[in-house]
Amino acid sequence: MSHSNVSIFIPHIGCPNMCSFCNQRIISGTQTAPTGEDVRQICSQAFNEIKDKKNAEIAFFGGSFTAIENDYMMLLLESVQEFLGEDGFGGIRISTRPDCIDDKILTLLKKYKVTSIELGAQSMQDDVLEANNRGHKSCDVVNASNLIRNYGFELGLQMMVGLYKSSLQDEYDTMRKIIRIHPDTVRIYPVVVLAGTELARFFESGEYVPEPFDTIVGICADMLSEFENNGISVIKCGLHASEGVEGDMVAGYYHPAFRELCESRIYRSLTEQLIIQHKGTDYVGKICFAVNPSCISKALGHKKSNYDYFKSHGIEIKVVADEKVLKYKCELRR
């Protein structure tokens, strides 16, 4: 059963911070905060369109929900209550900062039928968090995650790849620390440098030098398969397509099919390992391998890039479907 969200974007209201990369108004693609009536209209339209309501959540994204001024937060929560319950949507999803979670707020969120909480962890390295003005430490992510779990909410963690002052070692350390927390879901966001942010100024002055695009695709591919192989569902890999982002991006790693690029990379590496293991390093010729039926096009690569890549090395790959083979795995076939 696939999950869906009724997305409501809350711009940068209430958040006391200005993280180096954040221009929340651009990311949300909206300038004004929705009124209670706006929220009811969005929900009402979705209510008529979505058949499997139990597997859908009303999702407040874009800002730091629990840092919003209390009256407005209550208005938002109140506005969606009539769309929940027996025949309504399955619950509410919110995203917030790890230092804006405590017993009082979690008790309130529970009362208003919030089901899932996502925390913007971004990095689990304290010096990286500090360099990017996050205003919290990695221990806040651990503590808030434990508290959220204790209250029975679904836990999601969001992380960024390619932040200012984040080394390759830092990226993988962050991944390992998140795996240790073992959230239900993860979102991987490669950094996008937006005009007007502090990161844009660091980039323009030469203080921040982004890694090559290809390196970041490789790191995100490793993370995607590591998280999934550890039973953590990666629900997003790459920033969502929006004209605001493309128009205001001055550097970084935006691509409309970023996840597909990462999945292609996963299968290219797996295929290379298979060839070396079974045919040797100098092999040229044909090779046939099986993947999960949902992964045939991923194995061939984004726009058949893997097929073309191996062809240019004298190897013709043939991919067959086998539902016994797990996602992000492959097996040799004769």
22 binds ligand SF4 (CB under 6 A): yes
- Taking CB under 6 A as the rule, does residue 88 contact ligand SF4? no
Number of residues that bind ligand SF4 (CB under 6 A): 11
Q: Does 64 bind ligand SF4 (CB under 6 A)?
A: yes
Coil, strand, or helix at residue 329? coil
Selected binder of ligand SF4 within 6, 8, 10, 19 (CB under 6 A): 19
The dihedral region occupied by 303, where left means phi > 0, alpha psi between -120 and 50, and beta the remainder, is: left
Site string for ligand SF4, 225-264 (x = CB under 6 A): ----------------------------------------
> DSSP for 291-319?
E-GGGHHHHH-GGGHHHHHHHHTTEEEEE
Query: Where in the chain does DSSP place strands (E)?
Result: 4-9, 56-61, 91-96, 114-122, 154-161, 185-190, 192-194, 233-237, 249-252, 285-291, 315-321, 331-333
If one asks whether residue 138 binds ligand SF4 (CB under 6 A), the answer comes out as no
Of 15, 77, 128, 300, which lies in the binding site for ligand SF4, with binding defined by CB under 6 A? 15
Choose which of 10, 12, 89, 166 interacts with ligand SF4 (CB under 6 A): 12
> What's the burial of 236, exposed, middle or buried (CB within 10 Å: 0-12/13-18/19+)?
middle
Q: Where are the alpha helices (DSSP H) in 60-167?
A: 70-80, 103-111, 126-131, 138-150
Q: Quick one: which of 6, 8, 24, 264 contacts ligand SF4 (CB under 6 A)? A: 24
> Interface mask (CB under 6 A) for ligand SF4, residues 178-217, using x and -?
----------------------------------------
Q: Which residues contact 233 (CB under 8 A, 6 or more apart)?
A: 184, 185, 186, 227
Q: How far is the CB of 33 from ligand SF4 (least distance, A)?
A: 13
Q: What would the x/- binding string for ligand SF4 be over residues 89 to 128, using CB under 6 A?
A: --------x----------------------x--------
Let me know: does 58 contact 8? Beta carbons within 8 Å: yes
Give the Cα separation of 100 and 183 in Å (integer).
Answer: 18
Note whether 11 binds ligand SF4 by CB under 6 A. Answer: no
Taking the least distance from each CB to ligand SF4, the nearer of 120 and 210 is 120
Please choose, from the candidates 153, 234, 228, 225, the residue with its C-alpha nearest in 3D space to the C-alpha of residue 189. Answer: 234
Q: Which of 17, 81, 269, 305 binds ligand SF4 (CB under 6 A)?
A: 17
By CB under 6 A, name the binding residues for ligand SF4: 12, 15, 17-19, 22, 24, 63-64, 97, 120
